[in-house]
Amino acid sequence: MTILLFLVPLALLLGAIGLVAFMWSLRSGQFDDLDGAAHRVLMDDDIEKDL
C-alpha cells in the first residue's frame, strides 16, 4: 500500500493543476463572453484575404 503515498499526492497535484488553470482562465476574462467564444473559434479572421 506504499504506492498510495505516491498516488494520492499525484492525484491531488493533477487536480490542483486543473484548478489553477481554471482560475487563470477566469482571471483573464475568458468567461466574459461565452456565446461569442463559441462562434469566434469558427472564424478565419487570421487568414488574410486576397482580393
Partner 1 sequence: MTAAFDYESLVTASDSGIQRFDAAIDGMTCAACIIDIEHGLRDLPGLLNVRVNYTNRRLALEWRDDSFSLSDAFERLRRMGYALHPFEISQSEREETETSRRLLRCLAIAGFGAMNIMLLSVGVWVGGDIDPETRDLFHGVSALIALPAAAFAGQPFFSSAFAALRAGRLNMDVPISVGVMLALVMSVYETLTHADHAYFDSAMMLLTFLLLGRFLDHAMRRKTRAVAANLAALRTPLACRLLPNGEEIMTPLARIKAEDIVRVRPGERLPIDGDILSGASTLDESLITGETMRRPVRQGDVVYAGSLNYDGLLSIRVVKASGATLLDEIERLLEKVSAARSAYMRLADRVSRLYAPMVHVGALITALLWLMRGASFHDALITAICVLIITCPCALALAVPAVQVVASGALFRAGVLLNSADAIERLAEADTILFDKTGTLTAPDQRVINADKINAAIIDLAATIARASTHPLARAIARERPRGATCEVREEQGHGVCALVNGEEARLGSVSYCAMEMEALELGPIDPEISLVAFRHGARSALFHIRQTLRSDAATQIQRLKDLGFSIEIMSGDRKEAVEKIALVLGVDQWRSAMKPKDKVARLEELRLAGRKTLMIGDGLNDAPALAAAYASISPIEATQLTQAAADAVFLGERLAPIITTLAIARQARHLMRQNLALSVIYNIFAVPLAMAGLLTPLIAAAAMSGSSLLVTLNALRAGKDDLTGDEKESSMDREEGFLAETFL
Instruction: Out of 4, 6, 48, 51, name the contact with partner 1 by CB under 8 A.
Output: 4
Smaller CB separation from partner 1, 1 or 50 = 1
Please count the helices (runs of H) and the strands (runs of E) in the chain.
Answer: 2, 0
* CA 26 vs CA 5, 17, 18, 34, 49: distances in Å: 32, 14, 12, 12, 33
Q: Which of 3, 6, 26, 48 binds partner 1 (CB under 8 A)?
A: 26
Judged by CB under 8 A, does residue 46 bind partner 1? no
Answer for which of 3, 6, 39, 48 binds partner 1 (CB under 8 A) is 39
